[in-house]
A and B are shown apart, each in its own frame.
Chain A
Amino acid sequence: GDSVTQMEGPVTLSEEAFLTINCTYTATGYPSLFWYVQYPGEGLQLLLKATKADDKGSNKGFEATYRKETTSFHLEKGSVQVSDSAVYFCALSDSAGGSYIPTFGRGTSLIVHP
């Protein structure tokens, strides 16, 4: 079956540091890839997505590129802020009998200190 693996957290950084959160996947079909963010006490919200190989998704300074050859979708940001502290989930959507079932990684907690 499909799976998503992302790096264990927590990731602890100082403000303005460079961020990378690794994500790799396995899928039987040709999935779409997503990053979601969860702020404390809230549900998840879409951060960015990419739907085909070599696509780059970007939002709020975050970027991730769909790498089919390495089955990866690493999340990066050049300069993190305290407000970026949250849990980040990598996910894919793959077709199963005509419907699209989401598969999530375990989440990576990011803590940014002033």
Chain B
Amino acid sequence: GAVVSQHPSRVICKSGTSVKIECRSLDFQATTMFWYRQFPKKSLMLMATSNEGSKATYEQGVEKDKFLINHASLTLSTLTVTSAHPEDSSFYICSASLQGRSQPQHFGDGTRLSIL
């Protein structure tokens, strides 16, 4: 089955640090990947759609200069949280799917980001 790998699983760093999270599709090519932020009461917020070879599409209210997305190949998308602050602490999850209406999303295991 389709597998998505997300790395790292946990990051603890100081305020002002930039943090890069990787999302890889291991056994399929993904022209589109999605990045989500999950809040403490479990709701999943779509942050952006990552498009291979072009700019990401950000959801309303998500700062594109704060959350940099790069999708340079068909198997890798990265999310960089620039100059992270404590309010950026959260659980970040990526997903990707095969092409087609009936294809489910395949999720990475998530990254727990804690900014001190």
A residues bordering B, Cβ < 8 Å?
31-32, 34, 36, 38, 42-46, 49, 51, 87, 89, 91, 93, 95, 99-102, 104, 106-107, 109
Contacts and interface: CB of A to CB of B under 8 A. Distances in A.
Interface residues of B, number: 23
Nearest to A32: B102
Interface string B13-39: 000000000000000000010100000
Nearest to B106: A46
A23 B97 CA distance: 23
B101 A95 contact: yes
Given A107-B44, A109-B42, A43 B101 contact: no
Contacts of A31: 101
Contacts of A36: 104-105, 107
27 contacts: A34-B104, A34-B105, A36-B104, A36-B105, A42-B109, A43-B93, A43-B108, A43-B109, A44-B107, A46-B104, A46-B106, A49-B102, A49-B104, A87-B42, A93-B103, A99-B49, A100-B97, A100-B100, A101-B49, A102-B34, A102-B97, A102-B105, A104-B44, A106-B41, A106-B43, A107-B42, A107-B44
Contact of B32 (A43, A45, A49, A99): A99
Interface centre among B46, B104, B106 (most CB of A within 10 A): B104
